[in-house]
Amino acid sequence: MIIKINEYSDVPIYLQIRNQIVMGISSGELTAGEQLPTVRALSMEIGINTMTVSKAYQILKSEGYILTDRKNGARVRMEIDQSKSLSAQNKDELRRIVSEAKIAGMSKADFDKLTEEMWGE
């Protein structure tokens, strides 16, 4: 999986890394048990500070997406908790996106179609 950073984005780099890894797991591009690059290797590949990658990995670990240890590095968890619900933070983010779609004049049908297309990705 190739992680692409947008240096001009308002989204902090550590969150861009986190989000792309979550999307990689969701799409199947990253599989259960798959080894992730070391903090040092990923930071060198992207050209960023190791602490930024470390922060992304810490968040992914706390959210239950990856496991880390000093000997084996970071791996995608074999079993990720499937609570079948979104966190309060993600619900707030979704509410913001829906609000922006409404303000932009998007119909519910068009929004539903867009989410259906993204669900299938």
Q: Do residues 104 and 56 share a domain? A: no
Q: Do residues 71 and 17 share a domain? A: yes
Residue 45: give the domain boundaries: 13-76
Give the pair of three-digit tokens for residue 72.
């084996």
The CATH number of the domain holding residue 44 is 1.10.10.10
Q: Do residues 26 and 47 share a domain? A: yes
pLDDT in tens, the chain (121 residues): 789 999 999 999 999 999 999 999 998 999 999 999 999 999 999 999 999 999 999 999 999 999 998 888 899 998 877 777 788 888 999 999 999 999 999 999 999 999 999 888 6
Nearest CA to 48 among 18, 2, 5?
A: 5
Our count of domains for the chain comes to 2
Q: Do residues 60 and 34 share a domain? A: yes
